[in-house]
Chains A and B, each alone.
Chain A
């Protein structure tokens, strides 16, 4: 160390100040980093810890098993079955692989690749929510998709439950179906815990009892990584509560009889559409409700293809439509109940008042003909209602006037929905002066009031309204809401909602009036207006109807629907219709039935034979031949 050269060098090349400066920079750098670290970790540690938790944890819904549906005998109508669904998480599908993945997956699922991409692109949820590409995939296909997972990024196979409708087409329109929630529904129901790929009731009871059947989805707090992959369930914040089950008022056996009778009649008469309803008039319980043609709701449960759906939606006979509640038709002579009840109650006529029933009457210069173009001579209510004399009821309706007629029609429940628990119920039309003014700007003409008296003109009713009105007649004046659900049973087996008849109103009509009308309804049968119905071993009271609609043919004749609504006493053989103990009311409706006789009555007879196991066949096939027995009232 004594080398002078070395000493000189050390003094010149080693700058102590520069070392000190470097040291100061070092101290500054570490002080700055430490200060920032302290600010993040000590001052704001808590809030960052909260952010880190919010980052990684996410509340995930746990679907609850949907409630089941039974008929009144406890027979299973709607079940849940496990099925495989193929889903794609858009965030996990690299953009440049969209085409290869959709082509490969399309080949496995027998789908168009463009349909797969369209499904993903139209998804409503976030890019991290799996989108259902195809539901109810066969197990073998699901296994193949799982096996090629490495070539199908973003594609997953999920096990989910789908609805199964073991009765097939028997009561599709009542039960309805579930389907994927649409964008509008999702944005509306997201707050109620619905998921982007959720299923929701789309029609029938599945739709109207959605909240009951669905149950309450559970919530799991899940730790999730940045790519959206679940790492672990941290805790269950809410347990899933299964949906409640429904027991229907429908009796599968009666439903089958009704469907069989209607299908037979429609086939024999070559009809396109028809309705059959069976009801207990004491309670409003619907025992059967058939609307033909129909569809199979399993098609929807399995994920209906666009092609199949288009086919159903564009079918002219509208199989998706429940004609029993969603369509309204002119009631024809069945509506004479209203004019008759009103005339008696307002004392325009008494049970013995005789009215001359000419071949026609003239109102404001127009002739209004009776259906047989002859009239029935001097008639009381029994003769008028029993023979369905049009001129009788033109006169009664005119005596009542449009507003009183409308008053009694509304009392019977016409012109407003019955409130049956099915979506899309039509309300029907009952014209009054006010209605006419609101709709056409002028009051009812005399002729229109007369027409309304026989259920023509502006009047339109749904089959369910008509049977409900006649049920009020049969049960002594209680207008009941028709009901389809007998009871709601919670997942624990406790009955949540027991059955209770719902009284809409007591008719503003005396028991004597109703008794007179019931006996008049029996006269319809006994006067052989309904041919051999009177010969059957069960005693029926009721009313047929032939309702013109649409456009006149070359001979100036209109097409017509036929109706029959009737009931039997508690003892079906009892012919005493002053009783109000009936347990069975039925309605047949045949759309556009240009037959020689009243097709609906023949269908009702067929039903009674099936229901009461009547061996002898009373059906008159000749009446179902094509023809135009014009104006069989």
Chain B
């Protein structure tokens, strides 16, 4: 199966252009929205640190780790912007191999809660390679589908993309990480949709997935099934999974219109919220910043997604369009599932809220994705083909 063709990189593209031209092509809005969301994430890390009773900058605190990760994310973003994204096409296969290797490594030596293997310790920090896997798979899928332009509405393209995603998907499920594996499927669906794949076959595939849900439920871990069942009937288990959902909704509702003010969230200060610095961070935000603050965050997300879609629209090669679509699909899915979980309209799945949930892998991966999109933005003027 020769699905990807190695192409020579084009180093010269940017160097031949003036700084002004690059600057004009650079999407400053996208960077601004991302930076603002990153700042909100830092604020929430600060709030969570203070509320847990630690000094903000104490060694190993959530806030100090978030600062380190933010710095790293900025570096990754800048490097990715400077890097010619065309090389991703060239190295699509090695990247895919690296992805699989990292996920296998995670299964082998990774740590996690209750026997799971989700992250690998890197000195004082931990890294969740499944987060990186999402961004890497966006690149791989964009390279694969971009290469098949002209044949994108064929069943073969859909099947090929599905076959590509199955190994990492299985490895992520094995960790087990239901949230990320669902996210991979959402990325696949979003990219196939935007690639112009046959709607008929997409719908057929989607119905197949839906019909297999009852069967899949049997293969879920007990806690995963409990979360989904408690979502369907939250009063059944008010101390376990249902309790988390209930406490999150109480936090959100208690925020009201103006919110209780930063660091004044009683639900977070009293540790009533589960994993309140990561998966349930939006509950803290909604209580402390209220409806108004939550809406501001939503508007920032919408603006960012808009800029990502604009990049997709402007991209003159299919890779850029597909890559940006993949990032947009990932962001939208994660926002929907995470906030939907916090406000109680979706079951609990461990999916981080982009930028705002504490987690280095998530932040760095998003920075990588957005950096590549900026790279795509500034390299559109002189298409070589």
Contacts and interface: CB of A to CB of B under 8 A. Distances in A.
Contacts of B256: 41-42, 45-46, 49
Interface in A50-101: 51-53, 55-56
B254 A48 contact: yes
B269 A225 contact: yes
Nearest to A38: B291
B30 to A, nearest CB: 16
Interface in A285-325: none
Contact of A26 (B266, B286, B332): B332
Interface stretch (A17-25, A443-451, A570-578): A17-25
A353 to B, nearest CB: 86
A56 B272 CA distance: 8
A226 B269 CA distance: 9
B298 A34 contact: yes
Contacts of A226: 247, 270-272
Interface stretch (B77-85, B119-127, B334-342): B334-342
Interface in B337-351: 339-340, 343-345
A233 interface: no
Contacts of A251: none
Given A13-B152, A25-B332, A41-B290, A52 B267 contact: yes
Interface string A14-39: 11001101110110011011101110
Given A37-B286, A40-B343, A22 B193 contact: yes
B328 interface: yes
Interface of B is mostly: helix
B301 to A, nearest CB: 8
Size category of the binding interface on chain B: 35 or more
A44 B253 CA distance: 6
Contact of A42 (B195, B272, B291, B328): B291
B150 A12 contact: yes
Contacts of A42: 256-257, 291
B316 A10 contact: yes
Contacts of A6: 316, 383, 385
B305 A48 contact: no
Given A32-B345, A42-B257, A226-B272, A13 B196 contact: yes
B200 to A, nearest CB: 14
A231 interface: yes
A578 B96 CA distance: 120
A51 B271 CA distance: 15
Size category of the binding interface on chain A: 35 or more
B140 interface: no
A33 B339 contact: yes
B48 interface: no
B93 interface: no
Interface in B136-154: 149-150, 152
A29 B269 CA distance: 30
Nearest to B256: A45
Interface of A is mostly: helix
B194 interface: yes
B275 interface: no
B321 A13 contact: yes
Contacts of B290: 41
Interface in B307-334: 309, 312-313, 316-318, 321, 325, 328, 332
Contacts of A12: 149-150, 196
A235 to B, nearest CB: 15
A17 to B, nearest CB: 9
B250 interface: yes
A40 B152 CA distance: 43
A30 B254 contact: no
A48 B251 CA distance: 7
B298 A40 contact: no
Q: Ordered nearest first, which 9 A-B pairs have the shortest CB separation? A: A48-B253, A45-B256, A52-B254, A225-B270, A40-B253, A41-B291, A49-B254, A226-B272, A226-B271
A524 to B, nearest CB: 76
B345 A53 contact: no
Contacts of A9: 149, 316-318
B106 to A, nearest CB: 27
Contacts of B318: 9, 13
A225 B271 contact: yes
Contact of A18 (B193, B267, B295, B301): B193
Contacts of A192: none
A34 B270 CA distance: 26
Contacts of B312: 19
Contacts of B253: 40-41, 44-45, 47-49, 51-52
Contacts of A44: 253
Nearest to A25: B332
A487 B344 CA distance: 63
A176 B278 CA distance: 58
Given A25-B332, A33-B336, A36-B343, A48 B309 contact: no
Given A38-B291, A40-B344, 18 more contacts: A12-B150, A12-B196, A22-B190, A22-B194, A22-B309, A22-B328, A23-B309, A26-B302, A29-B336, A30-B302, A33-B335, A33-B340, A40-B286, A40-B343, A41-B290, A55-B267, A56-B267, A226-B272
Contacts of B316: 6, 9-10
Given A13-B321, A18-B196, A223-B270, A51 B250 contact: yes
Contacts of B266: 52-53, 55-56, 223
A227 to B, nearest CB: 6
6 contacts: A12-B150, A13-B195, A34-B298, A36-B344, A55-B266, A55-B272
A223 B206 CA distance: 49
A274 to B, nearest CB: 60
Contacts of B332: 25-26, 29
Nearest to B302: A30
Nearest to B287: A52
B255 interface: yes
A9 B247 CA distance: 51
Contacts of B357: none
Interface in B287-306: 287, 290-291, 294-295, 298, 301-302, 305
A42 B253 CA distance: 8
A223 B345 CA distance: 30
Contacts of B301: 30
A111 B385 CA distance: 86
Interface in B81-108: none
A224 B257 CA distance: 25
A223 B264 CA distance: 13
Nearest to B145: A13
A68 B305 CA distance: 74
Contacts of B294: 37, 41
B131 to A, nearest CB: 21
A5 interface: yes
Nearest to B252: A40
User: Which of B250, B312, B340, B344 gathers most chain A CB within 10 Å?
Assistant: B250
A40 B385 contact: no
